[in-house]
Amino acid sequence: MYHFSGNLIVVMLLTAVAGGLWLILDITTALLFYSVSLLLLVAYHLYYLTVLDKWLQIQDPISTAVPDGSGIWGDVFARLARLIRIQSQSNQQLSQAFERLRRATSAMPEGVIILDESDRIEWCNPVSEKHFGIDFKRDADQQITFLVRQQQFAEYLLTHNYSEPLVVKQARNQELILSLQLVPYGDKQKLLISRDITSLERVETMRRDFVANVSHELRTPLTVIGGFFETAAEENWISSEMGKRALILMTDQTSRMQRLVEDLLTLSRLENTQNQVQDENININEILYELYNEAESLSAGRHHINLTLNTDAKLRGSADELRSAFSNLVTNAIRYTSDGGKVDLRWSYENGKSVFTVQDSGIGIDKEHIPRLAERFYRIDLSRSQETGGTGLGLAIVKHILSRHQAHLEIVSEPGKGSSFSVWFPENRTVVVENG
């Protein structure tokens, strides 16, 4: 402001002097004086403009001396120098922070890949390069599914349900087992975190094999014992009342053990990663109709059972597995609902997703138990579960089957009022039959 008015005063002064000269001498002298002095003023500014331009063309203007300038130009150079210094300091701080962050993510034992909204690689750390056999310099901007080609990964990416990690074998090195977790963040970007769980998986395989082997070994002796008890009861081998009661008790416990062994073997089969899910087109309406009939015979008229088929949608997956999962939910609804209660089975299609719901008016479940229901042997009331013939493995089996089909279980319940178990299937598992 000061220099602007300074310049204005100079121009006004020159105008006044030119006016004076016009009055004292003549107009030609006045005009000559005026033009020459204005020309000198323009030359002065042009000179400093050239100095400024030269200074700004230097790559690092701050490292060279700030040009000298008189009047307004001295101030302009000083202010610009200050601005450039502040700018370069914050640039330096930013790049130091970025370098610290880069070093920290590089030192992480996990692989980290940043994916943009079209799932292209924006950045990755060295561990992820090792995990997926990629090279950031070569593969930046590449679609992740071109590099991580496992079918399960493509399906996992499509489901948009990343609450559980995905376990895959590395494509080139089958010995390496990775746990992959996608974390959406920011503006539709995703973090792909990979962990090497090879040794963990080895211990887990040993545990699974052990349980499977023990269950398998127990199967035959249990069948023999069960058969023996059955024959003893049929042929009245035991005559005393106490003996008969003991025989009934032993028969019950043997068949409970047999159910346990069968459930453990089912879980082992489901946990086996070699055991891929089949890809059948399943007529769910047919299965639900069968389950409805089975529910009627299990209930033996004690409950009001309804079946509502709102859609013809089919599912892609394993018919046996889904039948077993749905059957578990239906059986539980009947077992945990008192006589006279209601059990509704519903198959619907909503916004691209299909959903199977079993709703009962039974005993219900307290909120605190809901997250733990699918754990093995988790029971709210052990005596009630045993009384109704439960093994405590039913929902664990359901959870495994559903996760193999990228489906998820939603449980809504209120003690004393009843429960609703809904199984949501993703779009890519649902086959909608167009009518007409």
Site residues, ligand ADP (CB under 6 A): 332-333, 336, 360, 362-363, 365, 373, 378-381, 385, 390-396, 419
Residue 54 or 384 having the CB closest to ligand ADP: 384
Residue 88 or 386 having the CB closest to ligand ADP: 386
**Among 273, 307, 266, CA closest to 287:** 307
- Closest approach of Cβ 144 to ligand ADP, in Å? 36
Residue 280 near residue 274, CB atoms below 8 Å? no
Residue 81 or 257 having the CB closest to ligand ADP: 257
Rounded CA gap, 93 and 81, in Å?
18
Which tokens is 237 given? 């081998």
- Closest approach of Cβ 341 to ligand ADP, in Å? 10
- Closest approach of Cβ 367 to ligand ADP, in Å? 13
Q: How far apart are the first and last CA of the chain?
A: 79
Residue 322 or 365 having the CB closest to ligand ADP: 365
- Residue 79 contacts by C-beta under 8 Å, 6 or more apart in sequence? none
- Closest approach of Cβ 417 to ligand ADP, in Å? 11
Name the one residue in this structure whose structure tokens are 């000269």: 21
DSSP 319-355: HHHHHHHHHHHHHHHHHTS-TT-EEEEEEEEETTEEE
- Closest approach of Cβ 386 to ligand ADP, in Å? 8
Amino acid found at 325? A
Q: How far is CA 392 from CA 253, 263, 376, 387, in A?
A: 15, 9, 6, 12
CB atoms within 10 A of CB 231: 10
Rounded CA gap, 17 and 29, in Å?
11
- Closest approach of Cβ 374 to ligand ADP, in Å? 7
Residue 144 or 329 having the CB closest to ligand ADP: 329
- Closest approach of Cβ 264 to ligand ADP, in Å? 13
CB atoms within 10 A of CB 325: 26
Rounded CA gap, 110 and 194, in Å?
6
Residue 276 or 338 having the CB closest to ligand ADP: 338
- Closest approach of Cβ 330 to ligand ADP, in Å? 9
Residue 287 or 397 having the CB closest to ligand ADP: 397
Strands 189-196 and 177-185, bridge-based pairing: antiparallel
Which tokens is 131 given? 């995990």
Pure H helices in 178-318: 198-234, 241-271, 284-299
Residue 151 or 253 having the CB closest to ligand ADP: 253
Residue 280 or 344 having the CB closest to ligand ADP: 344
Residue 129 near residue 148, CB atoms below 8 Å? no
- Closest approach of Cβ 412 to ligand ADP, in Å? 11
